[in-house]
Every structure is written in C-alpha cells, then in structure tokens.
Chains A and B, each alone.
Chain A
Amino acid sequence: MTANKKKLGLKDKYRYLTRDLDWEPSYQDKKAIFPHEDFEGIKITDWDKWEDPFRLTMDAYWKYQAEKEKKLYAILDAFAQNNGQQTISDARYVNALKLFLGGISPCEYQAFQGFARVGRQFSGAGARVACQMQAIDELRHVQTQVHAMSHYNKHFNGLHDFAHMHDRVWFLSVPKSFFDDARTAGPFEFLTAISFSFEYVLTNLLFVPFMSGAAYNGDMATVTFGFSAQSDEARHMTLGLEVIKFMLEQHEDNVPIIQGWIDKWFWRGNRLLTLVGMMMDYMLPNKVMSWAEAWEVYFEQAGGALFKDLERYGIRAPKYVEQSTIGKEHVSHQAWATFYQYSQATNFHTWMPNEEEMDWLSAKYPNTFDQYYRERFTFWREQQEKGERFYNNTLPQLCQVCQIPTIFTEPDDATQLSHRSHVHEGERYHFCSDGCCDIFKNQPQKYVQAWLPVHQIYQGNCGGADIESVVRDYYNINIGEDNFEYLGSPEHQRWLQWKGLNPAVAPLPKAS
C-alpha cells in the first residue's frame, strides 16, 4: 500500500472519494451485480469516458449544504415571526403554493427515489456518485419546501394533507403519473426523462415562474427556498446534459432509442407544464411575465440552441415541438377554465380574472384571448354576479397518458378539441393529442393499467356514492373551506379582516 499525503489536493480527494470507491468484482459476474444496465438496449463501451459534471465530494457536499440550510431556516423563522403571511400581495397568491405543495413537492420525493435507484444500477462509479448526490438533493428539497410552506398551513386552507392528496386527488394524478412513468422505466430512460428532458430542457419553466412569482408577491419564504435550491438545480442541469452526451457518444445504436425518449418526455413535460402556465397567467396577483413569454425565453430560445448543438449526434428537435409553439397561446386559458369549473373538487380556490387582468391577458395573448376565451370568462363572471357561479357537475374525459382532461384544441383549429382515440386489443382509449396517442401506441402495455381518477371513481374505488363524499372522505378536502370559489371564501374573509376591512360590510370586489 502506498502512503497517501496527509493533506490531499482537491483533485486527489475527488479521485479517492468517487472513482476509487469502485472495484472490479472477482467472484461475481458484473452483469449480475448491475442487472438493469442492458435491457433498454443502450450500449456503454467505456464508463471511464464519463465526465463528472460537478467535482463535488461528499464531505464538501455536507459542509456546503449545511451552511445553505442554516441561512434558509433563519429566514423562514424570521418570516414566521414577522407574520410574513400578512404582507404577501394578496391571499389569492397562496393558491399557487397549494398547487406547488401538492403537485411539485411530492415529485421531488419521487425524484429522490428514482435517483437513489439508478444510482445503484449503473456499473460506472462516476455516474453512480452523481445520481446518489442528486438523490440527496431531491430529498432535501422536499424537506425544505415542506418547511417553507408549513407556516402558510397555519393561516390558509387546503395545505393540510398534501402527501395523501398527491396519491388520490384527480388533477394531482397528472404530476404523479409523470413520475410513476419515469420511475418504472429503465435507468437510462429515467435519466433521459428526468435529468435531461425535465431538469435540463424544462426546469427553468418550473422554477423561474414559481420563484419569481414568489418574489413579485412578497413571499420571502419561498423565494429563499428558491435561492437555496438554485445551486443544486444548476448541478442537476449539468448532469442532464452530460448524461445525454455520454450516451450519444458511447454508441451510434443509442441515437434512435434516445430520440424516442426525447420525443416522449418532451411531450409529457410540455403537457405537465400546462399547470405552471395556468399558475403564471391566472394565480399570481402580481404577474411576472406571461406563460407564452416564458415558453419563448426558456424553451424556444434556450431549447432551440440546445437541439442545434445536439444535431451533430444525429438528434433532432422533439416530435410535435411545433404544436407547443401554437399551444403556448392557449393552454393556460384552457387549464384555468378547467379548474374554475371543477373547483368543487380542488384543494385550492379559483376565480375569474377582473377587468384589469383580462386586459393584461388580451395584451399578452393578442392572437387568442379575445377571440377564444374572453367571451367565456365574461359570461362566467356575469353568472357569478347573478349568484349562479358556474360549476361543471359532470366528470371529465381524461387522456389515457398525461391524465389531463381532454381540454386541448387542435393545433390548426382552436374551436375544436384535439381528441384522439385508438383501439388496442379490443379496448378503446382516448387521448388529448397526437403526442400522447403516440406514446400509448409505442408502449400500450404500460398505459392500459393507468389509474385514471374519473374511471376509478366510477368503479367505486374511491369510496362515496357521490362526488361530494369522494372529495370530502377520499381526498380529505374540507368542503366549503378548501374548495370552491375564492370570492367570499373563509380565506378571502380572513384576508379582509387582516387588512382591516370588515368582511360583513366590505363589498366583495366586483368582478367587473
């Protein structure tokens, strides 16, 4: 054994604490130790070609993260002690947090589970260490997000049971099924789905809107969490790009497999982000930018340059990318209309935009808002003023793949739903788009078992003979407190009280 220097340089320390932890097995077959490495068809000829995207060792990781979290928790404490919940822009803002806590935080936990698994399955030590570190990041993110938002749970409704709701509530099956799909794929598809398509290509569209939204709306707790997570996210993005380039450089046979995964996960991510688009355009009282603008900056410009760069490997832009260019001017309106009419079954409130907000939407969406959506929203507002607030009393048809109700319109005709259907082994399946229909046709066996909330309710698997008891007992949504319209809700009344307005005499803000 050679003696090591007492004080290691960074490079040596990195080598000892990552690659040198690995060994060549002597009495076990390597394939038996890493049984999931081959079945997807990805060929790796030399794991040593893996370039670690971030030269971070575990000891440095703990030290660095501990310092960051000390600062974060100091700010969260200060926020709570100063009654920070009273200085946000408006109580409507908290509904964006409810969506985040039920829809995103449990996905961070799913990401932790996914990276912990693939961090076990690769025979290359560099990739294993990178995945394990990301797994720990994801677990920390769940914890810090829950802590950052727990203060709001003391003052607002609908935040009390997010983990339970994530597994059960109809719209939360959209993010849940996204991660279920990724985690049940092989390790290389998981990395393409989460590290590349989600973290690298689309993550800015999740984090920038939520964190800028928090900053614009006086939510220092969430902003601070965002800053704390930012350096981790930067590492995750770097890993995503490294993963894809490594796989592409290892063998040309990998190219068509990876292209198929990019097509699939771009489309699934695009659909999932509909929820973020709706949050940006409708749920933030102080708006940052429109969803269409965010899509242009963070996907069309950044993603366009990326896919140009990947052309030299034989990779093209994702299939149906042109549909997302059309959809960016529609999806947020379509999603908000959906949640507005099914607000009896959500753990957050919805409302119609006021006149000023409608004008903002018209200005930001000159090609679509006035032509297709303003009439609808104005009608609903008038109904509400007459005391006949619109709720849809039926259940919606869901897409078999993304599990969003089939609400999207044809790329070439915004007056017509882009419904698709396909018969597989005698059973008919329904989809929101060509993209989701293709995903099904490529792997029908995976999606025939999709747990579609509407069908589960009808099969009697969600308790309750009626929707109200499903919402109350199976979802654990407090009827009359968590759900329904925002105007006049207990939360709205409490906010008026905080602001020194007597809810009994203060007129509800007129919608127009």
Chain B
Amino acid sequence: MTVNAIGAYEFPPLDLEANFHGNRLLYLGWDRHLMFCSPFALLVDPAMGFAELCEQVLRPAMAAHPDTAKVDFSASVWLLNDQPWSPDFAASLDANGLRHKDMLRLQTPGLNGLGNSAS
C-alpha cells in the first residue's frame, strides 16, 4: 500500500547520499554496551581506512566506557546490516563495501558492560 493522497505523492528521500557533500552515514552499535543509548550516527569519508575508523573515530567515541581500553578491534566480531562480516583493516570504508546508511554492530566477546549488566 502506498500513500492515499489527494494527488500525486512522490518525493525524493531527504537523506540521499548526494546530500552529504561527499561523505556517507555509517551507524555503529556496540553490543552489550547500552551505556551509549543508541548506535552512533557517524559522518564518514568513504576513502577513510577501516583501521583509521577504529582508532581515530570509534575509540574516542567509546572512550567514556571502562571496557573501551580492552577492546581489540581486530579480534572483535562484526555484523554488517545484521550479517556476519569481516573487515579489511588496511582497506578504505568504500573498498570494504560500506555503503551510505549501513549499520555495523561491534561484538566484543568477554566484555559485557558495566558489572556484566550489558550497560
């Protein structure tokens, strides 16, 4: 079913990649660490390397959590849009196949949040 309307009802999506001036949206959720209330919405340059994303963007974003210092991104489990996925740390985000508005989930086995409460 589409929209019941009094006339034609066609609009371009407001968040097309072209509207982000060469950047892309990437979402990153850290499983069992709900202290960060929702996945991060990140604005990223597709040419950025995956290793750089981890160390320059993610680690500072996660820094307030005591588990962050123990995170080894290369030993973590990743899901891309809920499918198992393995990043190439040396390649760019684009070469890793990360598209506009994709969602990554980071799983860090053994790290279960504050007092093992998934916080």
Contact = CB atoms under 8 A, between A and B. Distances in A.
Contacts of B38: 338, 396-398, 405-407, 417
B37 A392 contact: yes
Interface in B60-115: 60-61, 64, 81-82, 99-103, 113-115
Contacts of B25: 455, 458
Query: What band does the interface of chain A fall in when counting residues whose beta carbon is under 8 Å from B?
Result: 35 or more
Contact of B9 (A373, A383, A392, A445): A445
Interface of B is mostly: loop
Interface string A443-463: 111101111101100111000
B52 interface: no
Given A40-B4, A409-B34, A396 B41 contact: yes
Nearest to A390: B64
Contacts, number: 145
B55 to A, nearest CB: 15
B4 A394 contact: no
B20 A458 contact: yes
B37 A407 contact: yes
Contact of A428 (B14, B39, B41, B102): B102
Contacts of B103: 397, 419, 421, 428, 430
Nearest to A394: B40
Contacts of A488: none
A81 to B, nearest CB: 43
Contacts of B47: none
Contact of B14 (A186, A394, A455): A455
Nearest to B9: A445
B102 A396 contact: no
Interface in A275-297: none
A337 B36 CA distance: 9
B117 A397 contact: no
A371 interface: yes
Which 4 A-B residue pairs are closest in the complex by CB-CB distance?
A415-B118, A376-B119, A405-B38, A448-B13
Interface of B: 1-6, 9-16, 19-21, 23, 25, 27, 29, 31-32, 34-43, 60-61, 64, 81-82, 99-103, 113-115, 117-119
18 contacts: A334-B37, A337-B35, A338-B37, A372-B117, A376-B35, A376-B114, A390-B64, A392-B64, A394-B36, A394-B40, A396-B39, A397-B41, A417-B34, A421-B103, A427-B13, A445-B10, A451-B14, A455-B25
